[in-house]
Amino acid sequence: MNKSNRTVVDVRMPEEFLGGNYPGSINIPLYEIQERVEEIKLLNQPVILCCASGVRSKQAILMLKNFGVACEDGGSWMDLN
């Protein structure tokens, strides 16, 4: 996948995101995913979701797929290439 065309959404808490994040990623905490679905649908897809360990990103994927958003699990933000 072309790095310039992908959108990385980090679902960690804002404080975690500020402590370090994938360059160019967007912070949308897990608890805001459902209320921001329309905004997420406008992003380049598939949306790559990441967090600290991959647990929250998996939860976000389940939510977003129910709304028809093409997304993939990036796991930990530190493991994204």
Domain that holds residue 52: 45-74
HSE toward the beta carbon, residue 55, CA cutoff 13 A: 2
What digits encode the pLDDT tens for the residues 25-70?
Answer: 999 999 999 999 999 999 999 999 999 999 999 999 999 999 999 9
Secondary structure (3-state) at 37 = helix
For the chain, how many structural domains are there in total? 1
Does 12 map to a domain?
Answer: no
Does 25 map to a domain?
Answer: no
Does 61 map to a domain?
Answer: yes
Is the Cβ–Cβ distance between 6 and 33 less than 8 Å? no
Question: pTM of the predicted model, to two decimals?
Answer: 0.92
